[in-house]
Structure 1
Amino acid sequence: MTSATARTRQTVQAYHQARFGGDVAAAAAQLAGTFTFQSPLIRSDDATGHLAGLPGFLQVVTGIDMISELYGESEATLVYDVHTATPVGTQRTAEHFRLRDDRIESIALIFDATRWHAIMAAAGQTEPASD
C-alpha cells in the first residue's frame, strides 16, 4: 500500500467512524473546504448542509455491517449494510469518496431509495433536499 493510499484509508475511516459515531465536528474535519455530497434522496454543496441531518439519521440507525473497503490514492469505496429502526430495515449501501490533499472533496452515496420515499413523504419531504 502506498503512503497516499494509506492516507486515503486513514481519512475515510476517520470520517466513517465519526459520522456513525455522531461526532459531527470530527466528521467535518475530514472534509475539504470545497465539498459535495449526493445520494438518491439529498444533495449538498457544502459540509455544513451535508452533516446537518446526521443527528436525525443516527436516531434510526441500529447498526452497521461493513462488507467491503477499497482504497486508492485519491478515492475509496465502502460497501456496508445500515440497519435501521424503520420499515426500511436493512439498507445495502455503497459510498464512493474522492479526495484531494488528504481531505474528502466529494461523496456519492448509492442505494435503492424506493423504500425511503414513504418515510420522507410522511415527514413532509417529498423531493430531494438541496443546499
Structure 2
Amino acid sequence: MNTREIVRGYHDARYRGDLAGAVALVSEESFSFRSPFIASTDPAGHLAGLEGFLRVVTEVEMISELYGESEATLVYDVHTATPAGVQRTAEHFRLRDGKIGTIMLIFDSAPWQPMAAAIR
C-alpha cells in the first residue's frame, strides 16, 4: 500500500468507528501520538476515547490532503453537535516500514476544555 492508501485508510476507519481497521495500519513498534489532550505510545490506546467523540461528530469535511513518500498531512473540518461547532483540524503522519509510526493531531482545544470529561 502507498502512503495515501495507508493514511486515508486510517482516517476513514477511525471516523467510521472501525478501531480494529485503524489500528491495523499503525506500527506496533515505536508508535507515537500527540494531540492537545493526549500523548500515547500505545497503537490502540490513543483511540480510547474515540467512541465518545464520534457520538458528537456529524460530518468530517476534507479540505486538503498532502502526501509524500513517507509522510502525509490532512487538513479537515470536524462538524460536531456541540457548542464547539466546527473544529478545524490538521493531522501529520510519518510512516515507518509501511505503517503509521507517528501522528501529530493539531487543533484549538479551548472550545473542548469544558466538554472533555463528558465525551470520554
**TM-score, normalising length from structure 1?**
0.86
Query: Tell me, what secondary structure is at the counterpart of 1:20?
Result: helix
Structure 2 stretches lacking a partner, 5+ long: none
Which whole-Å CA distance do the structure 1 matches of 2:70 and 2:104 have between them? 14
Which whole-Å CA distance do the structure 2 matches of 1:48 and 1:69 have between them? 24
Q: 1:32 aligns with which of 27, 34, 37?
A: 27
Structure 1 stretches lacking a partner, 5+ long: 1-5, 126-131
Q: Write out the 4+ residue segments of structure 1 that deviate beyond 3 Å after TM superposition.
A: none
Q: Cα offset for 1:17? A: 0.7
> Once the two structures are superposed, what CA deviation does each residue of 1:25-58 show, in whole Å capped at 9, x if it has no partner?
0000000012111111111111121121111111
Counterpart of 1:3? none
Q: 1:63 aligns with which of 52, 55, 59?
A: 59
Which whole-Å CA distance do the structure 2 matches of 1:44 and 1:59 have between them? 22
> Once the two structures are superposed, what CA deviation does each residue of 1:91-127 show, in whole Å capped at 9, x if it has no partner?
000000000111001100001111111112x54x8xx
Instruction: After TM superposition, list the pairs within 5 Å mapping 1:35-114 onto structure 2.
Output: 35-114=31-110
**TM-score, normalising length from structure 2?**
0.93
**Number of residue pairs matched by the alignment:** 119
- Residue identity in the other structure for 1:28: V
What is the CA RMSD across the aligned residues, in angstroms? 1.6
Which whole-Å CA distance do the structure 2 matches of 1:11 and 1:86 have between them? 30
* Identity score, percent: 63
